[in-house]
Amino acid sequence: MRIMAQMAMVMNLDKCIGCHTCSVTCKQAWTNRKGTEYVWFNNVETRPGQGYPRGYEDQEKWQGGWALSRNGRLKLKAGGKLKKLASIFSNPKLPGIEDYYEPWSYEYDNLLSAPEQKHIPTAPPKSLLTGERMDIKWSGNWDDDLGGTYAKADLDPMLKSIGDKVKLEFEETFMFYLPRICEHCLNPSCVASCPSGAIYKREEDGIVLVDQDSCRGWRMCISGCPYKKIYFNHRTGKAEKCTFCYPRIENGEPTVCAETCVGRLRYIGLVFYDADKVTEAASVPDEKDLFAAQKDLILDPHDPDVMDAAERAGIPHDWIMAAQRSPVYKLIKEYDLALPLHPEYRTMPMVWYIPPLSPVVDVVKDTGYDAENAVNLFAAIDELRIPIEYLANLFTAGDTDVVADVLRRMAAMRAFMRDINMGIEPDVRIPHAVGMTPESMEEMYRLLAIAKYDERYVIPAGHSEQAHSLEGIGTDCPLNADGGPGMNEMPDVASRGFAGTSGMSDPLAERSAEDEGERSHLRGRLNLLNWDGKGRPTGLFPTVDGPAGA
Amino acid sequence: MNSPTVLETFLWVIIPYMALAVFILGHIWRFRRDRFGWTTRSSQIYESKLLRIGSPLFHYGIIFVFLGHVVGLVIPKSWTAAVGITDHMYHFMAITIGLGAAAATVGGLVLLIYRRRTNNRVFGATTRLDKLMYLMLSVVILAGVYSTIFDSALGGYDYREGVSVWFRQFWAFQPDIALMSTAPIGFQVHVLAAILIFALWPFTRLVHVFAAPLGYLTRPYIIYRSKDRQRQPQRRGWETIDY
């Protein structure tokens, strides 16, 4: 057993109103640079819809992710290493800019510099790639709120397997929003596709990052990722991706998209998994078993054996505590609500989703029945095959039973809590009908509906840096601590001491100019405790010009 | 034999060795100072249809051209003769394989330059250094094709007794200037332009040649890295007791 910690996210789609605040704040934080105009580390898709880039889920076309070879072994869907290298001069599956959109701005200057004239000046759009005027034909969110009904036919790849029945009933049936970031997979196919070995999974928290100094722009990761969440910076010629806001995570803060989510629908926390079992779990023959296999990978942080193994694997104690409080673990394993996006890609994605109940509620409400009544909702879940099949295509590789179970739990919670809030005696049969107790259902309600900040985000701060300064203090003379007589002798630790353990400061880094300034009043002083008695220490006697540094 | 003129010494001794120095030091400098800029700067995202044909054509062509140069320049004529390869056999191989590779390279290059010039997105991402590099590459390749056909195949000049010998002497720091100064003009242009492009190399996107990801074949698929750059093996004398 090789236990690793993974920072994971759950999004409760029932609460997403599609406001795009996450996308905008993410863009402001990370991709408001030249070369990344079209890059959305976080985007929100209206589903049914084509997604971004257009139709990215059609893996028969894009060949992203993993597949099983004829002898049942896991291999990259686009082909093995030799094939990748052979096609390195022209990646056959690379999306073009037109699959995203041509980024543009407007000639705002026209509005300001136009002379006095009869007609109001305009600001025509111009391409940010060529600088020429252009017609806007598509963008990152062109089919927003259309629910897959845009233009000719339904181009959503996830609708194909549902077939003709959709076309008749579809428009009235349902629509919901799907915010997407990088999945920070346990078995990332982008990492496996990178010829340079520039993409890596961090040992400490499982965040997948691109080493910008090692990336050589071979573009294989872009086609390798089935979620198309690696983007090509067309200015630097390097791959870029969602960083899970690692500088914030290391400080115990949630990602920008989560922090700014007005619906408070994102949850961040740790899960432990057994890294030695990942390949095996990703290789199960039946696609519909992948969800269960992925769920089984996640270990119970309360299990003494797991705690012991985690300790031995070098996972700090407070991280184990955080894993035990993890809302992500609860939503995946205790309440059985969260589902992975497209487990059939076999990448073991670590951004999970609670499927939306709202399409079901809306239908019940529209028919005039009580949409808070458990019996009505249960019946509707059994009846509404199309939304459930669609959700199953997204989250369980087509297994509708799992999705229906999740929705029943949410429906039960809705009905059960309605009674409590109305002051009516709650019906304990409702939680029992979905395999829960009244107490656990109230806890689940608290996590989902009240969703307090510190319950949504249980993020232990990063450790390696702290460990270092602590080690420095532990092995050095105590007189070298801040304010002590030896503080000038230990530049690494001295000036920072315990203060240096907060946040991300690196005690081994070179002293900054700022620190030098703080210390300048000590220059010229002498610490005889550190004098070995040989020679004449500088500063023992004043220099002719007066004290040094004065 | 006449002693070489100043110009000849300049062309076939000073410039080549200066180019070599720039090539080596330039790469070291670039690797240390600008690893971030060490990329292919692919433009495939802008345009794929022409690239899909042109780029593999050019790159596979140039790889064969390179291998041909290794054979032609590095292996002395006496060695191939010793293993029983006659001049006729050698030239037949060189001309057929060489011309095939040359056709692919030139065809690819023409397509890529056409693409770069006519596609506004690609042209917009083209730097001045790129243009200079394309010009130099074209001169080198065209001069090489010209001299192979007209000087070597049709003209009777045996580069294996001329340019190739000079090339090996160059690495032994004993270049015979006369071997180059008496070579046909096509070869002279080819060699000189090549030398200049080697001097230009470290400062262009050509550095991506030295990023060829052959290590991919042997590494495991998934890479883990610790964020702790400072994590080092235990210091001597501080090893913990293994209870």
- How does pLDDT run across A161-170, given as a tens digit for each residue? 665 555 545 5
A residues 151-180 closer than 8 Å to B (CB) = none
pLDDT band at residue A535, thresholds of 50, 70 and 90? Answer: confident
With CB atoms and an 8 Å threshold, state whether B213 touches A215.
no
Q: Which residues of B are annotated as a binding site for heme b?
A: 59, 69, 190, 208
Which candidate from B42, B221, B230 shows the least CB-CB separation from A219? B42
Which residues of chain B make contact with A195, given a CB cutoff of 8 A? 213, 216
Q: Can you tell me whether residue A533 is helix, strand or coil?
A: coil
| CB-defined contacts A:B, below 8 A | 135
What is the pLDDT at residue B87? 84
Q: Do residues A423 and A192 lie in contact, with contact meaning Cβ atoms separated by under 8 Å? A: no
Instruction: Give residue A252's region: left, alpha or beta (phi > 0; psi -120 to 50).
Output: left
pLDDT band at residue A157, thresholds of 50, 70 and 90? Answer: confident
Q: Do residues A183 and A351 lie in contact, with contact meaning Cβ atoms separated by under 8 Å? A: yes
Burial A382-410 (b: 16+ CB within 10 A, else e): eebebbbbbbbbbbbbbbbebbbbbbbbb
With CB atoms and an 8 Å threshold, state whether A204 touches B228.
yes
Which residues of chain B make contact with A206, given a CB cutoff of 8 A? none
In A, minimum Cα distance to B224 occurs at A201
**A236 touches B: beta carbon within 8 Å:** yes
pLDDT band at residue B120, thresholds of 50, 70 and 90? Answer: very high
| Residue B57 within any structural domain of the chain | yes
- How does pLDDT run across A438-482, given as a tens digit for each residue? 999 999 999 999 999 999 999 999 875 544 444 444 444 445 445
Q: For residue A62, is pLDDT > 90?
A: yes
Q: For residue A150, is pLDDT > 60?
A: no
With CB atoms and an 8 Å threshold, state whether B41 touches A237.
yes
Residue with tokens 């290298």: A85
Whether the predicted model's global pTM rises above the 0.95 cut? no
Longest C-alpha distance within chain A, in Å?
A: 97
Q: CA-to-CA distance for A509 and B230, rounded, in angstroms?
A: 10
Nearest to A133 by CA among A123, A143, A142: A123
* Strands A3-12 and A351-354, bridge-based pairing: parallel
Q: Do residues A495 and A523 lie in contact, with contact meaning Cβ atoms separated by under 8 Å? A: no
Is pLDDT larger for residue A156 or for residue B69?
B69
| Residue B226 within any structural domain of the chain | no
Q: For residue A85, is pLDDT > 70?
A: yes
What is the pLDDT at residue A160? 66
Q: Can you tell me whether residue A94 is helix, strand or coil?
A: coil
Count of domains observed in chain B: 1
Which residues of chain A make contact with B58, given a CB cutoff of 8 A? 89
With CB atoms and an 8 Å threshold, state whether B124 touches A90.
no
Nearest to A258 by CA among A355, A351, A336: A351
Write out the H or E segment, with its range, that includes residue A76: strand A74-76
The dihedral over CA atoms of A243, A248, A254, A255, expressed in degrees to the nearest 10, equals -30
| Residue B99 within any structural domain of the chain | yes
What is the pLDDT at residue A66? 97
pLDDT band at residue B43, thresholds of 50, 70 and 90? Answer: very high
Neighbouring C-beta atoms of residue A538, cutoff 10 Å:
10
Q: For residue A550, is pLDDT > 70?
A: no
pLDDT band at residue A366, thresholds of 50, 70 and 90? Answer: confident
**A84 touches B: beta carbon within 8 Å:** yes
Which candidate from B56, B208, B214 shows the least CB-CB separation from A216? B208
The runs of H, that is alpha helices, within A313-348 are 317-325, 327-329
Which residues of chain A make contact with B223, given a CB cutoff of 8 A? 191, 197, 199-201
- How does pLDDT run across A121-140, given as a tens digit for each residue? 999 999 999 999 999 999 98
Mutation site for A-interface testing, chosen from B206, B221, B231, B235 by largest number of A Cβ within 10 Å? B221
Best-predicted range by mean pLDDT (A135-144, A359-368, A439-448, B225-234): A439-448
Average pLDDT, chain B: 92
Q: CA-to-CA distance for A203 and A222, rounded, in angstroms?
A: 23
Taking each helix axis from N to C end, the angle separating B128-146 and B87-118, rounded to the nearest 10 degrees, works out to: 150
Query: Angle at the Cα of A78 (from A73 to A82), degrees rounded to 5?
Result: 80
Nearest to A13 by CA among A406, A323, A483: A406
Q: Enter the ipTM.
A: 0.88
DSSP conformation class of A98: H
Which residues of chain A make contact with B36, given a CB cutoff of 8 A? 212-213, 236, 238
DSSP conformation class of B88: H
Instruction: Give residue A476's region: left, alpha or beta (phi > 0; psi -120 to 50).
Output: beta
In B, minimum Cα distance to A246 occurs at B227
Q: What is the phi/psi pair of residue B53, to 5°?
A: -90, -50
Q: For residue A189, is pLDDT > 80?
A: yes
Nearest to A503 by CA among A469, A480, A471, A472: A469
Which residues of chain A make contact with B60, given a CB cutoff of 8 A? 89
Q: What is the SS3 assignment for A429-487? A: HHHHHCCCCHHHHHHHHHHHHHCCHHHHECCCCCCHHHHHHHHHHHHCCHHHCCCCCCC
Mutation site for B-interface testing, chosen from A81, A90, A207 by largest number of B Cβ within 10 Å? A90
A residues 251-280 closer than 8 Å to B (CB) = none
Mutation site for B-interface testing, chosen from A85, A87, A89, A348 by largest number of B Cβ within 10 Å? A89
Residue type, A237: G
Q: Do residues A148 and A173 lie in contact, with contact meaning Cβ atoms separated by under 8 Å? A: no
Q: Kindly list the structural domains of chain A, giving each domain's residue range(s) and its CATH number in brackets, ordered by start.
A: 357-447 (1.10.3650.10), 464-530 (no CATH)
Q: Do residues A326 and A458 lie in contact, with contact meaning Cβ atoms separated by under 8 Å? A: yes
Mutation site for B-interface testing, chosen from A234, A250, A251, A283 by largest number of B Cβ within 10 Å? A234
Q: For residue A509, is pLDDT > 70?
A: no
pLDDT band at residue A100, thresholds of 50, 70 and 90? Answer: very high
The dihedral over CA atoms of A411, A415, A421, A426, expressed in degrees to the nearest 10, equals -130
What is the pLDDT at residue A521? 55
Determine which of A222-226, A363-367, A453-457 has the lowest per-residue pLDDT on average.
A363-367
pLDDT band at residue B155, thresholds of 50, 70 and 90? Answer: confident
Nearest to A137 by CA among A162, A94, A103: A103
pLDDT band at residue A502, thresholds of 50, 70 and 90? Answer: very low
Neighbouring C-beta atoms of residue A547, cutoff 10 Å:
11
- How does pLDDT run across A234-270, given as a tens digit for each residue? 999 999 999 999 999 999 999 999 999 999 999 999 9
Question: Residues B198-225: what's their mean pLDDT?
Answer: 95
Which candidate from B37, B45, B120 shows the least CB-CB separation from A234? B45
Read off the tokens for B200. 């230009």
Residue A481 pairs in a beta bridge with none
Query: Angle at the Cα of A231 (from A226 to A234), degrees rounded to 5?
Result: 145
Write out the H or E segment, with its range, that includes residue A419: helix A400-421
With CB atoms and an 8 Å threshold, state whether B39 touches A90.
no
Average pLDDT, chain A: 85
Is pLDDT larger for residue A155 or for residue B18?
B18
Is pLDDT larger for residue B89 or for residue A336?
A336
Residue type, B44: Q
Contacts of B39 (CB under 8 A, 6+ apart): A215, A216, A217, A236, A237, A238, B205, B208, B211
Nearest to B160 by CA among B90, B99, B102, B66: B90
| Residue B235 within any structural domain of the chain | no
* Strands A199-202 and B224-225, bridge-based pairing: parallel
Query: Angle at the Cα of A41 (from A38 to A161), degrees rounded to 5?
Result: 90
With CB atoms and an 8 Å threshold, state whether A203 touches B125.
no
Question: Residues A196-220: what's their mean pLDDT?
Answer: 95
Which candidate from A96, A202, A237 shows the least CB-CB separation from B39? A237
Which candidate from A201, A212, A214 shows the least CB-CB separation from B222? A201
Residue B10: give its domain's CATH number.
1.20.950.20
Which candidate from B43, B120, B216 shows the least CB-CB separation from A85? B216
What is the pLDDT at residue A491? 43
Query: Angle at the Cα of A110 (from A109 to A112), degrees rounded to 5?
Result: 65
What is the pLDDT at residue A530? 66
DSSP symbols for B97-157? HHHHHHHHHHHHHHHHHHHHHH-HHHHHT--HHHHHHHHHHHHHHHHHHHIIIIIIITT--
Q: Do residues A54 and A155 lie in contact, with contact meaning Cβ atoms separated by under 8 Å? A: yes
Q: Do residues A193 and A79 lie in contact, with contact meaning Cβ atoms separated by under 8 Å? A: no
| Angstroms from A212 CA to nearest CA on chain B | 6
What is the pLDDT at residue B60? 97
Q: CA-to-CA distance for A178 and A355, rounded, in angstroms?
A: 10
Taking each helix axis from N to C end, the angle separating A358-366 and A374-383, rounded to the nearest 10 degrees, works out to: 110
Share of chain B above pLDDT 70, in %: 94
| Residue B143 within any structural domain of the chain | yes
Is pLDDT larger for residue A130 or for residue A537?
A130
Q: How far is CA A309 from CA A38, A299, A325, in A?
A: 44, 11, 18
Q: What is the CA radius of gyration of chain A?
A: 28
Alpha carbons within 13 angstroms on the beta-carbon side of residue A235 total: 13
With CB atoms and an 8 Å threshold, state whether A202 touches B125.
no
What is the pLDDT at residue B233? 58
**A191 touches B: beta carbon within 8 Å:** yes
In B, minimum Cα distance to A90 occurs at B52
Strands (E), A107-153: 125-127
In this structure, chain B runs to a length of 243
Q: Which residues of B are annotated as a binding site?
A: 59, 69, 190, 208
Read off the tokens for B174. 């004993």
Q: Which sign, positive or negative, has the C-alpha torsion B12, B15, B18, B19?
A: negative
Is pLDDT larger for residue A540 or for residue A431?
A431
Q: Can you tell me whether residue A204 is helix, strand or coil?
A: coil
Which candidate from B55, B211, B214 shows the least CB-CB separation from A89? B55
Question: Residues B126-132: what's their mean pLDDT?
Answer: 95
**A187 touches B: beta carbon within 8 Å:** yes
What is the domain range of residue B82? 6-217
Q: Do residues A226 and A67 lie in contact, with contact meaning Cβ atoms separated by under 8 Å? A: no
Write out the H or E segment, with its range, that includes residue A169: helix A165-173
Alpha carbons within 13 angstroms on the beta-carbon side of residue A136 total: 12
Q: Do residues A9 and A350 lie in contact, with contact meaning Cβ atoms separated by under 8 Å? A: yes
Burial A121-144 (b: 16+ CB within 10 A, else e): eeeeeebbbbeeebeeeeebbbbb
